Structure 1
Amino acid sequence: MPDSPSPFDDPFADLYGKLPDARSADTGAPTSRRAARQARAQEEHAAAPERPAEPVAARPAAPEPAPAKSPAVEPAAAEPVAATARAPRRRTASAPAPTPGTLDDLFTGRTTTDQVGAPPPRTQRRRNRTGGWIAIGIVVVLIAGVAGGGLWAWNTFGTRVQEFFAGTTVDDYAAGEATGEAQVTIASGDTGGPVSQKLYDAGVVKTPTSLYDYMVENNVVFTFQPGVYKLQQKMTSEAVLAALKDPQNKLENRVQLPEGLTVAQTVQRISDQMAIPLDQVRAAVDAGPAAYGVAAESLEGWLFPATYQFDAGVTAAQVLQRMVDRTVQSLDTAGVPADQRERILTIASIIQREARFEADFYKVSRVIQNRLDQGMKLQMDSTAQYGYGELYEGSASTSSEAQFDDNPWNTYVIDGLPKGPISNPGDLAIDAAMKPADGPWLFFVTVNLDTGETVFSVTADEHQAAVNQWIAWCKDHPDSGC
């Protein structure tokens, strides 16, 4: 009787039983997971190329490696590293990361149940993300640096850059505004800058640099001829240049002398404006004061500052005599006794060089008189600069060489008044010398050379405070003639 069928009988199971067993000894496959791992390791070891042995002397002795957790894993021999190179650092781990496998790999022993379905190894996202943030940070810093540098450059040079691309802007009067009359004296050697300032002082142009800026912007080359020119006020720079070219506007046989010039400067201007040879004018001066009725050692202070018109053919001596006569007229008008003329001219010449405003002329006169009355040295910078020959070097400060130079004009060294006048004073200075203001002042200092603001003091401490104010102003205005 046939065997009764088992409830567990299955035709697929019977078929499966007839298949070869992958774990059987007939195929040589491992029968356990441990054996599979060992077989896998042996296969990899056998597949690795054999490394030739190196001479013992070429490789330094190395410590024995620690025992491996698995007898199938053999540590690789360390490669020699050059003495000057730095060995790269390697990341170490206790075991290799599990590699995902399939069911076929499981049956053939190429993987284990621990590895089937395991997640893939973690990527270096964290490191890459950190590096990305670092890179972004560097870019931000660079952009900030460029922006900051650009802001600094614009604040420092922006105006100049704008001026460079936009060109110089001439601040000028509009055409048709010219009115009235003005006279301007151009000296020998004057260029665009000085002439522009003179035109501004006479009310001809709008700013001290109007003519100069116009010449620069329009590439105008112009040679200024010395002389006195008849112009108008509120002219355009273009009209000024046209007028200076016109010989009809040049006043012949005319001399214009400002206050405060020395004899040497006056002689040069007479030659330039009158077209009289310079050696002839100097010879007329060398004839001496007596030739012109002056009881003095020189003509310093006696050539009155004014505008003179002469007839054609006038001589240098006649020009000088006219100026001396004008000085005597001013002295007589101020009530100066004949025997006090030289003394008053000396005081007036100092006032002319030291004061800036009309009221200050009379205060400076009082300071001079108070110091003389008290037996104090005058200590006037203008006298020291004149005696040393640096009166017109463009600085209000007296050099130490000039201050201590022993000459008869230096009131830092001598007592009383200097030997004689130091410049040609005008009517206001002569009148102030005769009529000093009432006041106890013994000191004065101009604390702002641009505006002419002057501080008068009674005590030395007050004066020192004013001097400190002047020093501070000079530090803030290094190009203003300190």
Structure 2
Amino acid sequence: MAKGSKRGCRNFVIACLLLLIAIAAGGAWLWQRYAGFSDRPIAGLQAGDSVIVASGDSFPGVLRKLRAAGVDDGEDLQWRALARHLDVAGSLKVGEYALAPGITPRQLLLNMRNGKVISYRFTIIEGWNLRQLRAALNAATPLRHETAALDDAALMKQLGHPGQHPEGRFLPETYVYSRGDSDVDVLKRAYAAMDEALEEAWQSRARDLPLQSAEQALILASIIEKETGVASERPQIAGVFARRLKQGIRLQTDPTVIYGIGSAYDGNIRRRDLQTDTPYNTYTRAGLPPTPIAMPGVDALRAAVNPAPGDALFFVALGDGSRSHVFSATLAEHNAAVARYLQQMRRPPLPEEKPLQ
């Protein structure tokens, strides 16, 4: 082979090597830039920022929403390449996603692929009545409101339980929901949770219980819930009511009277209220009221079906600010406890003690 040919071949090889080195260097630079983009926290995000992926959104559409939300980091080509790499483009999940400070493009797209949406919480408080529950639901955001214009009968029909009284039917606990969920979704879950909790409690009931059905257990549990100032006293209060039911003594419990008064209740029970007959006045009527009067929690359900043993037939608040009660077996003992309570209520507050010198 001629020297010129050898020299030309050598130059060609060198040129090819230089080209490969340049390509490798360029690829390394592009990869470094891509990796830096995908794992670098997105700049300028504020707590509470979010983006919504709607049904039918394509990835370019979502990218436009990100830009509109203030996400300026990265070129569109980089976002698309990252989406292809993570298999996000065809796997977007509908929902609201947090644009939290510190989140990276990779984390954000993985959240969209895996459906890690923003969660909200709605809590039903033990002892709430239906009116309070519905008011809280109507104020909850971003929950969709589908029941605000419905009366109680229409509400239960919407939930799939036409003709059933709604009071006491929704279990107090915290329910997690996402943007797009409605109050109907939350209520259906709370209804199912109460059904399950009530059935579990009823199956574990004591043998000599003076209740004929799980429905009666729910009613009694709602009264126990409203009478309880200290959680540990629920079984004792249940025991008082169970013994009164067995002996045919009227329950004479103020919360049922208040429920019967309804929205007209002004915070005070007067003698005329105790003497005015309503289906819920347990001073004028024997036995349980016709429906629950509040939403009882699991502990109240368990107390209703497993009341504490004893001989107490009465209880009254201790009156010392502790919300505890005094339990009595006889009317004489109870009257003495009531007198002490009234005296405690009339006593002027004690002056503040001076600190020791």
1:460 aligns with 2:331: yes
Separation of aligned partners in 1, 2:216 and 2:182: 30
1:265 aligns with 2:132: yes
Q: Which amino acid aligns with 1:327?
A: M
Pairing of 1:203-214 with structure 2 (within 5 A): none
In the TM superposition, residue 399 of structure 1 has moved relative to its aligned partner by: 1.7
Unaligned runs of at least 5 residues, structure 1 = 1-250
User: For residue 246 of structure 2, what is the aligned residue in structure 1?
Assistant: 373
C-alpha offsets along residues 378-437 of structure 1, whole Å, 9 cap, x if unaligned? Answer: 110110111012697445xx2223212211111011110001100000011000001000
Q: Which amino acid aligns with 1:388?
A: I
Whether the 8 Å contact between 1:336 and 1:434 is mirrored in structure 2 is no
1:322 aligns with 2:189: yes
How many pairs are equivalent? 226
Pairing of 1:67-466 with structure 2 (within 5 A): 253-276=120-143, 280-283=147-150, 285-289=152-156, 291-292=158-159, 294=161, 297-336=164-203, 340-389=213-262, 393-395=266-268, 398-448=269-319, 450-466=321-337
Question: Which of these two proteins has the greater Rg computed from alpha carbons?
Answer: 1
In the TM superposition, residue 305 of structure 1 has moved relative to its aligned partner by: 1.1
Q: 1:465 to 1:293 in 2, by over 3 A?
A: farther
Q: Which amino acid aligns with 1:350?
A: I
Q: 1:374 to 1:434 in 2, by over 3 A?
A: same
Q: Which amino acid aligns with 1:298?
A: H
In the TM superposition, residue 477 of structure 1 has moved relative to its aligned partner by: 6.1
Q: 1:282 to 1:464 in 2, by over 3 A?
A: farther
In the TM superposition, residue 336 of structure 1 has moved relative to its aligned partner by: 4.3
C-alpha offsets along residues 267-323 of structure 1, whole Å, 9 cap, x if unaligned? Answer: 111121234576733527442535545587411001211111112211222221111
Q: Which has the higher contact order (CA 8 A, sep 6+)?
A: 2
Separation of aligned partners in 2, 1:348 and 1:391: 24
Unaligned runs of at least 5 residues, structure 2 = 1-117, 206-211, 350-357
Q: Which amino acid aligns with 1:270?
A: L
User: For residue 51 of structure 2, what is the aligned residue in structure 1?
Assistant: none
RMSD: 2.7
Whether the 8 Å contact between 2:143 and 2:179 is mirrored in structure 1 is no
Q: Which amino acid aligns with 2:344?
A: W
Q: Which amino acid aligns with 2:187?
A: L
Q: Any idea what SS the aligned residue of 1:444 has?
A: strand
TM-score when normalising by structure 1: 0.43
Whether the 8 Å contact between 1:385 and 1:403 is mirrored in structure 2 is no
Separation of aligned partners in 1, 2:344 and 2:219: 31
Q: 1:409 to 1:301 in 2, by over 3 A?
A: same
Separation of aligned partners in 2, 1:278 and 1:263: 16
Whether the 8 Å contact between 1:387 and 1:410 is mirrored in structure 2 is yes
Q: 1:255 to 1:342 in 2, by over 3 A?
A: same
Separation of aligned partners in 1, 2:165 and 2:320: 31
Whether the 8 Å contact between 2:239 and 2:310 is mirrored in structure 1 is yes
Q: 1:294 to 1:278 in 2, by over 3 A?
A: closer
C-alpha offsets along residues 425-464 of structure 1, whole Å, 9 cap, x if unaligned? Answer: 0011000001000011110001226201210111110000
Q: 1:391 to 1:443 in 2, by over 3 A?
A: farther
Q: Any idea what SS the aligned residue of 1:386 has?
A: helix
Separation of aligned partners in 1, 2:322 and 2:247: 31
